[in-house]
Structure formats: C-alpha cells, structure tokens
Amino acid sequence: MTPARRSLRVHMYHHTHWDREWWSTRERFRFRLVHTVDAILDALDAGPDLSCFVLDGQTLVMRDYLQVRPGRQAALVNHVRSGRLFVGPWHILPDEFLVSGEATVRNLWLGERTARQYGVPLSRVGYLPDQFGHIAQMPQILSGFGITSAVVWRGFGGPPVGGPAGGAEVGLDTYLYPRARDPRFPAEMHSEFWWEAPDGTRVLGVFLPLEYYRGHYKVRPGDPAFTSDQTVGRARRTSAYLGSYAATDALLEPMGGDHLPVDPRLPGLLRDINGALAGDGVEYRLSSLDAFVEDVRTQQERVQVVWQGEGRAFGRKAHLLPGVLSARLHLKQRNARVQTALERYAEPLQALHWLLGEPYEATYLWTAWERLIENHPHDSICGCSIDQVHREMITRFDEAQQMADLLAEDAHASIAARVDAQFAQGGEVITVFNPLNWARTDEARVLLNSFLEVTPEGWTLLDHLGQPCPFQVVTVRSDVEKAEPFAWLGSEAQRPHDANEFTEVRFIARDVPGLGYRSYALRRRETPLAHGRVRPYAVLGNVALDKGDGAPSDLAAGPGTLDNAWLRVPVDPRDGSLELLDKSTGFTYSGLNAFDDGGDNGDTYNYAWPLGDQLFHTSGVTPRLSWVEVGPARATLRVTWPLSLPEGLTGDRQSRSPRHVPLLLHSDVTLLAGVKRVDIRTHFDNAARDHRLRAHFPLGRTVTCSSAETQYGVVDRPVTLPGDQRGSSEPAVHEHPQMTFASVSDGERGLTVLNRGLPEFSATPGGTLVLTVLRAVGWLSREDLLTRAGGAGPTTATPEAQMPGPVCAEYSLFPHAGTWTQADAWQAAHDFNAPLHAAAQTSQIVPLRNRHRERTGTLPPAGQFVNLSGRVLLTALKRAEDRPELIVRFVNPTPEPQAVTVGTLRPLTAAQRVNLREEPAQALAVTGDGVHLTARPWEIVTLALTVEVTP
C-alpha cells in the first residue's frame, strides 16, 4: 500500500543577518544597515503583501538604526507592534562559549530593556543561527526568560532519521547528506528536536539543515527556463530536502543572509511557486520564526530526537571554527577582566551599599554592561574580524572597565566608611571584601598614597583582633590617578614622588567571610625595625644565625624552590619545568609548565599545521632563574628560557622559515603564604609569526576524559577524537573551550589548571592538560588549510592577529586527590579569578565624590552581608530590575543535589524564587536564619529577597 503523501507547510522567514562588525567596521556596516532598514520599512509601508520580516533576533539593530534615523522611529515601532517586523529576543547575537553565563543573561535583559524603551514586543524564539557552537546550559537560560524554543545550525545535525548517511561534506552539492561521527551526539536528526540542558530543562530545538543563509531567488526575465529552475525548481528541491528532516508537517526555510536587503518580489514569487507546486502537496507561506514554532507545537508529540548538552558536533556540514577560541587572546583576557569587574565587584558592592541606604547606580551599571556586550558578537569576541574592528573593541573594554572599577570603588568606600575604626587606635583602616560565597584565605592588595612612605620596617599591619599580618610593598604606577601629599593623610612629603606612583601593600587576609569583609589596621611603628639579621620570610637550607628563623608566615624560599604549608615547588634546573609536591596527599607531579611551539598556517577561524611543521620545546633549553619578589606574603621565582623560533612561514606556507628570531620566554611562578595554589604569569615579547605556543601539565596517569567549566556548569569530553574523519569538511579537534578551569583525574589523583581569560585547552590520553598561551596568524580567512574545506570569510590580511609585541598569560595549578568535584576545584578556580577587594577608609586620592565620606562606625570590624551556604557558586548579587529587592543568583556546579541556606545581615522579611527575567515563581518560607532550599544538579537558582534597607 502506498503511503499517503504528506501535505507540507513551508514557513519562509524573510530576514537579514546583521554582523555589526566583521570584514568591515561598525560604521561602514551601519551605513549599509541604515539603507537596508529604510528599504524594509518602505516595503512594509507599501502594502500588506510583505506580511513580515525578521530583523535578525537582535534589538541593537534598532538602536543603531534609530540613532541616525530618529525620524523613522514611529514607523519602525508600529510595524513591530503590528506583528510585521520581528526583533529580539537578544540585544546582540553573542558567541556562547567566550562570554560568561551572566553576560548571556544580561544580553537577554538588554533586549528586554530595549523593547521596553520603545514599547515593542520581542520575538519569543531563541534565535541562534550562526554561533560557533552552543553551550550546554542554553536551554535553561532561554527557559529562564520564558523562551521555550531555539533555532540553531552549527554544532547540530546529522543524517535525517531513517535516511541515508550520504557522502562526504566536502562536495559542492548543497543537498548532500552529512555523515555523523561523534558518538556523544545523536547519530540521526530531525529538524525538530528536544534540546536538554544538564539540569533536565528542555526547549524545542529547531535545526536548520540548509543553514540560515539562503540567497534571494534568481530571476532572468529573458530566460524562463532558468527562472523556473531557480524559483519553482529550487523550491521543489528545498522542500524535499527539508521534508526529509522534518518530524512534523511544518518546514522552516530562511530567505536572506549576511547583510542582504529586503526582496520586495518575494510575495509575488511565492504565489507563482505555490501555483506550480499545488499538486505536490507543498504550500509556501511568508511567515515568522514564532509562527513556525506555534505550528510545530500543535504536533510536538511527533518530536522524538533528544539532544543533551552542548551543541559541538564536528563534521556535520556546518563549520564550528574552533580556532576562534585562541585567536587574539588579549581580547578574551580583557573580556574576562571586565566581566569579573562587573559580576564580582561593581554589582555586588553596589547592591550591598544599597542595603545600607545608599543609591544603587542601576543606569550606570547597565551602561557598562551594554558597552561590554557590544563586544560579544561572534565576529567580535572571537577575534575573526579585521584589525580595525578589534582596535575599536579595546576602547569599549576600557570604558566598561573604568565604569565597573569606579562603581566598585565608590560602593566599597561607602561600606568602609561605616566600619568602626576604634580597633585601629588611630591607624589607617583597610577593609577586605570577599566577592565569593565561601570563606577564603588569599592575597589582598591595596593601593596607598606613596607620600605615606609605607614600608614593613616603618609600619605594622594588624587584623581587627590585634594579630600581626606580615606584609610587603611594591611601587606601582597608575594609568588613571595621581597621588599628592594631601593634608587629610597626615603625612609629610619626606621625598618627592611621581604623581602616578603608588605603594601597593600586599598581605594574606585570612578567613574572610563569604560575601563579607574583614578589617585591618595599618599603623606607624614607634621604632622602625632593622632587618639586618632576620629575614621577613623563611629560607630553606643552611643559613647563618637568625636568618630565616622566626619567620612570620609559612612561606619559605630556597635555591630554585618555593614552599608553604600546602605545597613544595622546585624548579628543574635542566629544563625549567616545575615539580609539585602536594603535602596533603603526598602526590608529586613532574614536568609541569613545559612549553612547545609549533607552526600555524591557519587563520583566525581554524588552527592548521603546515606540512613541514617543526616543534620547538623548552625541554632542550637550559633556563635562567631569578627572584622577582620574596616576602612573608608572596614569593615569585622567574624562570627564563632563551628560545630561537622561526620568524614565520616559508613562501609556500607549508613549512616554518629557516630564518629565526629570538624569543625570551618568562614564567613568574608565585606561591602565597597559606594558599594551596601555584600562580604562574607567563610573558614575553612576540617577534615571531604564524605559530602556536602551549604550556603542558602532566597528571602522570592515564585518563579517558577531561572536565572543564562551561557557563553555569562543567562538561566532560573524551580525550580521543571520533573516528572516520577523513573527508570531513572540518575534522574534530583536540582543543576545547573552558571558562575558569580544566581538570583531569584517574579517580585517585587529579590536577586542575585554572586560568584567567585563556579559553582553549586540550587533554591527552596520557593525562596531560595543554593550555594555549598564544596563537599567531596573519589572515582573517584562507581557503588553503588542511583543517577546513573552503573559506569562513574573506581572504583579508590581519597582521595584528599575529600578536606582535608584549604577550601575557595568567594561570594557576591546583593539585588534589580524586576528581574536580570531590576536591571542589571550582572554588579554587574562582578564588584565582576573583581576588579579594581591598579599600582604605581614608581616601588616598581626591575623593570620587569630591568630598570625604562621613565615618559612622555602624558596622563591626568584620561581618557578612549575605550568607549563601552550601556547595553552590554565586553568579549574581544585584538589586532587582523593577522593585526594591535583592537578587541572589547561584548555580549548583555539581552532579549532586545541594542543600542551600541564604541569610542576610539586615532583617529578611520575604523571599521567593524567580526566573531569570525576575518574574515570581515560588514563595519561600523565611526562618530565623534565612531561607532553606535544595538546588538540583546543575540548576541555576535565582532568589528575590525583601530585606530591610537601613543606613
């Protein structure tokens, strides 16, 4: 019996995909945007035929347009309100792996704020058409905004369910079926599927088998055969191909692409196509993403494919372009710093001083967030644009950083002014704030006016209980402030100082409460100390009488060795690698922080190895050791390798040049008193081109997978590549994305490498973690790579992507027993990424508000503003957007349920769970010590707390 023919409805959404900046600058693209939107509005105004148009899922397009076309605001707004023009839900279409989870949430919030500003509705479809892969928690993020669907392309896909596997993707035939390879992901696909986050949250996924870019129909008035083939014939081929993937009777076909204009002919062409396809059971309709999702929802019982976790499947026709993780790494590092400044300091400190009766700088904070998020489109943060684009990004990073720092400093000053200073007995009060939700012992740094002449010999530092805290000082220079012998400091100008010269006091602050603070007093000594006989730190080995005895901390230094209560770190004098003894487990790790450097004839999108590659290693180079700093709080040993590297590639780009240039590679290895972590700062001046530099960290055991932090979670990935990759248009690679850490373990011992803004790592079956420190390439895109078929953009030279000049990378080693979760390695990672924040009670510069704050003494010398207990990670502490409530957001970053308690310093009168859009979901009981709840594995929890706000 012949099966009944399906009647298919093709929802064609007409759109333009707007890369704000890419192979040209933002302003050059905006000039095109203005005229493109002018034409869209003209076509919509002309009549009802063009029933709808999708403006690429991002509200910033509206902002950019109306900034120079304010006279057309009414027309644009009216078409959005009438349902003919669709915008949002995003503010910009972000890269997902290279920005934080909170930045992704704020991106959606900016879409909400823009919609409210113009009084327009947002599309309720999670439009993600061109991102270079998708994070595991995106379904939970979208659901938190009431968005229950996602349209995706890269990183998903496979042969259609029940269909042939097809040929290799390298072919030029658009309709070839891709092959599936990676066993982690579904082997067969429907265009409709359930996308499931690690916590179990599901959204309706919509896969675009023919991607988002579909050029306009081609019409030749004098060639009816050609016109028929390119309209009716194309529609017949497309609907048949999309139909092979469809689980329902609804098909989704894009019409539009990168910077393409509106096509006013489209309604008429679709009428002609429908007339020709009437007998095929296919009907085309000009539609929207929202209408398509509504249609599928009526048949969702047919949706059977479930995709769990991240969308990062290679070899499925859509390039994932993994080299963007390491292109222009300085952009990733700047982004990490600014995100941390906003998430860990500016917002929490503003929220806490709001609880003390001060204003909350909501608009100022959003201004900083918007400036930062303007750098988050995938062509921007990924580093795959022309050099001018990325130069302009630096200015936006600078502006966002300055705003975040100022808002944090001002709020911290407000809190510090309230601390009871009686314990200081006339000394300078320093408060240390802990932005994380667990108690920590870590380094604190505070900048003091150089005219105070603070030295360990002339001053003493005591905690609020009167216990001495050894400290050390270093002279630093500020790029943005100046120091003068201000009268209120009570100092006399003993000697001249440069105006931008400050004294940085460094000390170990012990047991600082989570989301709380601890105070210290810095006082002049009546009699300065003389350190001629006694070192202020311990010295390993045989030394003269008193030298190294009675040292005030557990930190010790010796020839080529660092030591504290937790760790011993000797440097191998033969090759400069580190040996690491974990005193708590007895495990020893060897060969750490060794480097290799190989050629790279790829581009900003993909690493590629030249056929005649040569690897250079520090293992064959005798290092030079020198002490940078030694004291009771921290000691830093510099390891220097004099390397000689090829200056670039040969003319045919298949080998490394025989001409060499010097590269002096430094790793500053730091150990802190009482802290179980080895901090490393690797830096050098890069004079070579077309190469990749990586640091290696062997576990010393074999492993089957690596674990790395992702946005709001941790992802396990196999250390071996999927088989049968030859013929793929883009084979899978060993390199993976990470947030603040990557970890390997054999179950008994583990090693976690922490990082600041270094998102690319790999892991070997032998248990070695490999961290990319530099990738230098000179082209936006090329078509002659061995690791990708075809180009990913224009063949444009990008000499600044070679990363010439100073390069710096910061990372840290955390050894432990068992796995990352058993050792709470994620806490060490966030300790490293969110240093303690210190402030002096007396302004060291001209006060930010141009006046001194009144010292009220209403806060004790140590305290906790918010108690968030349990094995969870705070991700946001801020005031609610629409009401005077405190928002506390955290994630359970473990695979087990966690019991959580939340309390506040000020009386807590009400509490409720809310979604990410801050809409009420569930009222919670408030007891004497706060709110009690359980967080599911990997669950993102947002609470809105009503707290008494008092001065």
Residue 406 neighbours by CB distance under 10 Å: 17
8 Å CB contact between 54 and 14: yes
State the pLDDT at residue 490. Answer: 86
Contact 510, 440 (CB under 8 A): no
Q: Which pLDDT score is estimated for 723?
A: 81
Contact 33, 72 (CB under 8 A): no
pLDDT at site 670: 98
**Amino acid 171: pLDDT:** 47
SS3 for 217? Answer: coil
Helix residue ranges per DSSP H, 767-852: 825-833
Query: pLDDT at position 169, please?
Result: 46
Residues 80-133: tens digit of each pLDDT: 999 999 999 999 999 999 999 999 999 999 999 999 999 999 999 999 999 999
> In which band, very low, low, confident or very high, does the pLDDT at 173 lie, cut at 50, 70 and 90?
low
- For residue 1, the model assigns a pLDDT of 38
Q: Is 519 helix (H, G, I), strand (E, B) or coil?
A: strand
Cis peptide leading into residue 89 (ω within 30°): yes
**For residue 750, what pLDDT band results from cuts at 50, 70 and 90?**
very high
Q: For the chain, give the mean pLDDT.
A: 95
Judge whether residue 164 has pLDDT over 80.
no
DSSP class of residue 671 equals: E
Number of CB atoms found within 10 A of residue 444's CB: 25
Q: Count other C-beta atoms under 10 Å from residue 194's C-beta.
A: 17
Give CA separation, 704 vs 606, 716, 719, 767, in Å: 25, 10, 6, 8
- 684-696 pLDDT, tens digit per residue, is 999 999 999 999 9
Please tell me the predicted confidence (pLDDT) of residue 724: 76
How far from the centroid of its chain's Cα atoms is residue 797's Cα?
Answer: 27
Q: Is the pLDDT of residue 761 over 50?
A: yes
Q: What pLDDT score does 453 carry? A: 93
Task: For residue range 363-389, list pLDDT tens digits in order.
Answer: 999 999 999 999 999 999 999 999 999
Predicted local confidence at residue 177, as pLDDT: 65
CA separation for the pair 384, 332 (Å, rounded): 12
pLDDT at 496: 87
> DSSP secondary structure string, 89-124?
SBSS-B-SSSS-HHHHHHHHHHHHHHHHHHT-----
Q: What is the mean pLDDT of residues 296-310?
A: 97
Q: Give the DSSP letter of residue 437.
A: S
- pLDDT tier for residue 532 given thresholds of 50, 70 and 90: low
Q: What is the pLDDT of residues 471-491, one digit of tens each?
A: 999 999 998 899 999 999 987
Query: Which range, of 251-260, 526-535, 797-806, averages the lowest pLDDT?
Result: 526-535
CB 739, CB 332: distance < 8 Å? no
| Spatial CA neighbour of 337 closest among 740, 712, 729 | 740
Closest-CA residue to 253 (of 239, 272, 271): 239
Residue carrying the six token digits 């405190």: 886
Q: Give the separation between CA 899 and CA 924, rounded to whole angstroms.
A: 14
Collapsed DSSP state (helix, strand, coil) of residue 413: helix
Of the listed ranges 30-34, 589-593, 722-726, 945-949, the least confidently predicted one is 722-726
pLDDT interval class at 65 (50, 70, 90): very high
Q: What's the predicted TM-score (pTM) here? A: 0.97
Sheet holding 567-570, edge to edge: 538-539, 556-558, 561-563, 567-570, 578-582, 588-592
Per-residue confidence band for 548, with pLDDT thresholds at 50, 70 and 90: low
> Residue 335 pLDDT more than 80?
yes
pLDDT tier for residue 908 given thresholds of 50, 70 and 90: very high
CB of 114 closer than 8 Å to CB of 108: no
In the predicted model, what is the mean pLDDT of residues 433-452?
97
